[in-house]
Amino acid sequence: MSKTAVIDAIKVKIDRLIADNTKLRADHAKVMQQRDKAKAENRELTEHIVRLEKRVRVLELREGMTGGAAGTSEDTKAARARVNRLMREVDKCIALLNK
């Protein structure tokens, strides 16, 4: 192989490395942005869970103080089932964000 061919081959490899590096830097920036977005969403969902848990405690306290007069047992069961379903949904979202 002549010196020119060796130099040309090295130039091609260097150009490929530069292109790969540029692409990897762009991919890295994109992943970092996605991570930051996921962290923010995770924080929001965690705060939402705390608010929902407070609401559940207030509702349970109110029910305990009123002796169940706030609604029928059917209403209470339906409300608890809905809250439980919402909390499971939030938990699933958090689990997906933590992956």
Q: What is the pTM of this model?
A: 0.51
pLDDT score, position 46:
95
pLDDT bracket for residue 79 (50, 70, 90): confident
- The confidence band for 66, taking pLDDT boundaries of 50, 70 and 90, is low
**DSSP string computed for 28-74:** HHHHHHHHHHHHHHHHHHHHHHHHHHHHHHHHHHHHHHHTTTTS-HH
